[in-house]
Chain A
Amino acid sequence: MFESVGKKMNFNNLFNNKKESNNYLLKGGMIIDPNEKVVKKKDILIKGKIISKINEEIVCKSDDYIKIDCNGLYICPGIVDMRVNLGEPGLEHKETIKSACKAAASGGITSMICMPNTSPVIDQPAIIQSIQRKAREVALTKVFCTGSLTRGTNGDEISELQLMFESGAVGFTDGNKSIANARIMRRALNYVKSFNGLIIQHAEEQELSKKGIANEGEVATRLGLTGIPSYAEAMIVQRDLWLVKDTKCRYHVSHISTKETVEIIRNAKKSGINITCDTAPPYFLLNELAIENYRTFSKLLPPLRTEDDRKEIIKGILDGTIDAIVSDHTPQDQDAKRLPFNQAEFGGVGLETLLPLTLSLVKNYDLDLISAISLITKNPSEILGLNVGSLKINNEADITVFDLDKPWKVKPEKFHSKSKNSPFDSLLVQGKNLMTFVRGRLVYNFK
């Protein structure tokens, strides 16, 4: 994955899914604590599964602990990625739980929240349980499921939401489909209130975006591609706001991409409505020009927008309108992308680039390091109501150790993900995850 590594990487050395646990002492790293909002040089002691101590100088007998020198490195809570598409079950040729967990662990992600648009769709408890069982076997990154909001994501009947909630569903969404029917949306928002469930919306007015494959405007017109108007997104958010105001349910808009959406959410937050949202790296780093030459790796959903939209997304991140950054990892095999633009599938992989691309906001846009880390740890964890993404004593030790400045080149062929469809192919980035701890185990170690 990195230019600097000459020798061929060996999976057995990189990943560790053995059940035995060691005690670790991470010495001399800069600890980024999003809860305390400080970056300070401290030692951190991992005992069994949990974080047992964080202090200026921890001394202990060397045979009880594996000591790791973290001088010059940064230590933060493990990354929580709220939007990942797993290929399993049903689309194992694109991604398996194992390959996704490897990709996540190597990217510093310790908790993945997967979308329900698998095949079959996650619309009943049994499928959630089966995915969780698989994830436990793989034993790398933690996997949480969302359940589909409507049966089969067909949009017309709500799924067994509370049963899925009981089985561990952390939120409800129809994945890359918007809930088009306002009545169903209202019922769902009302229904999940009884158990304080979270609804995650992919905002897109489906009739307006029908057959659309690119952002409507100059580029789509010139290339002869059917456009998706940018307000198709804002329109649904606007509609949902009425419903959220009425039902007062927990509501989250995923991967927002337009100026208008940022403005609407900014105003909604000001007026005290309980709404959260996230975006993904392509929407703050790329614009619609990336589809020039019919580059199908840049065919995303929502589509890449204009430069004005991109700038406003960054503004939204800086002023706190946008709560979280997600990878929006959507693996697609070669056959799904090596096609005419119109026929190619939507989406790009992102697990292995989430950290450096988020850090690019620190390097290039004056976002402070604590806020950047919060966007991918504390904030998503709080939105979902999970007990991850922090460095609290006695919490499970989900920890990421990274080099803030290490430069590397994105080479998808070296990705651990089964699919290589990255819109950031060949980009030079800075910041590299070096070690990932999940439940106190060192699951990934980049040597």
Chain B
Amino acid sequence: MNGIDKLKNYPHKHLLGIEGLLPNSLNFLLDLSQKYVKFLEKNSKKLDYLKNKTCINLFFENSTRTRTSFELAGKKLGADMLNISVGTSSIKKGETLIDTAMTLNAMQPDLIVVRHNDAGAVKLLSEKVNCGVINAGDGPHEHPTQALLDALTILSRKKTIAGLKVAICGDIMHSRVARSNIHLLNTLGAEVRVIGPATLIPKEIDSLGVKVFYNMKDGLKDIDIIIMLRLQLERMSGSFVPSIREYFRFYGLDREKLNYAKPDALILHPGPMNRGVEIDTELADDLDRSAIFDQVRMGVAVRMACLKALVKK
């Protein structure tokens, strides 16, 4: 526990990011998640921890896995889950984020899960509501539950995070997953590298405690875990990479490049995958090497833990 006592409760009101969380907070959430992993393996029953509690899923951006897994997690815990998607709500009519927050707050939910396309938007919303808020992704800033589920996946295969060498590959610049993972893995004692074309590596990322590599061969040497990121075509303005063909040739993960890493290196991908862009199809489907579908399973457990930890009794 890095010299810090084991916690009985999650000590914060919100989960807005991994940055600033101490190892014991992270371990608390991971331990709780592990319990739910076991629970989900054993039975399909519902729990009633969050009976009569209302959670709102507020998604300003499209999402399949995150939204569904929050919804499923809430239902497994007995909570009433409401989904608000932007297409059909007043946000389309020009309501500001703060007004949306205050409106929802007036309905007295017990927790709000928010995804927004602007960095910091979830924090802004959290300042205007009385209940806890979980950040389900805010622009290129953070996506804490993804980092937690990645950590849980790593733990399930490698037993520990401290001392592992982890490479995060691809579009670091536009990735909230990268930032959350960097903070979490560093906090729990892993060595983190980022690999990608220099156009997709943000300035002074090394100050977050990572080593920067511009080619896969050097970057993947002795690596235990490879986290592949999606090339976020929708966030790009201007040519960050000349073509998908060229990107795949130099940064797409295939058998050949995988051989640079340790023989038992594990592949993670937050999804949705662009097959043939950042990862070879055959590799993505190789269940020995790729934990991509494990991650989805872990996602539900992690979100159960986060909901349980943040909803007030």
Residues of A within 8 A of B (CB): 210-211, 216-218, 220-225, 227, 229, 293-294, 335, 338-343
Contact = CB atoms under 8 A, between A and B. Distances in A.
A220 B173 CA distance: 11
A339 B142 CA distance: 18
B271 interface: no
A340 B116 contact: yes
B204 A341 contact: no
Query: How many B residues are at the interface, by size bracket?
Result: 20 to 34
A211 B119 contact: no
B132 interface: no
Interface string B203-222: 11101100000000000000
B17 to A, nearest CB: 10
B48 interface: no
A335 B142 contact: no
A413 B238 CA distance: 42
A339 B202 CA distance: 24
A221 B119 contact: no
Nearest to B179: A224
Contacts of B139: 224, 342
Nearest to A335: B96
Contact of B97 (A217, A220, A227, A339): A339
A222 B118 contact: no
A225 B208 CA distance: 15
Interface stretch (B36-44, B120-128, B158-166, B274-282): B120-128
B202 A294 contact: no
Nearest to B141: A224
A278 B202 CA distance: 31
A217 B203 contact: yes
Given A224-B141, A338-B98, A217 B118 contact: no
A227 B141 contact: no
A224 B207 contact: no
Given A221-B202, A222-B19, A294 B142 contact: no
9 contacts: A218-B208, A221-B207, A222-B19, A222-B179, A222-B207, A227-B203, A293-B123, A340-B97, A342-B119
A229 B204 CA distance: 12
A225 B204 CA distance: 13
A220 B207 CA distance: 12
B203 A342 contact: no
A221 B121 contact: no
Given A216-B203, A217-B203, A342-B118, A224 B123 contact: no
A220 B203 contact: yes
A310 to B, nearest CB: 17
A340 B119 contact: yes
Interface string B140-164: 1110000000000000000000000
A223 B207 CA distance: 13
A216 to B, nearest CB: 5
Contact of A224 (B97, B98, B140): B140
B123 A221 contact: no
B176 A224 contact: yes
Given A222-B208, A343-B118, 10 more contacts: A221-B202, A221-B204, A224-B119, A224-B139, A224-B141, A224-B142, A294-B123, A340-B116, A342-B118, A342-B121
Contacts of B96: 335, 338-339
A217 B138 CA distance: 19
A340 B237 contact: no
Contacts of B207: 218, 221-222
B140 to A, nearest CB: 4
Contacts of A224: 119-120, 138-142, 176, 179
- Report the 7 A-B pairs with minimum CB-CB distance, sorted nearest first: A294-B120, A224-B141, A340-B118, A224-B119, A340-B121, A224-B140, A342-B118
Contact of A225 (B19, B98, B119): B119
Contact of A341 (B98, B119, B205): B119
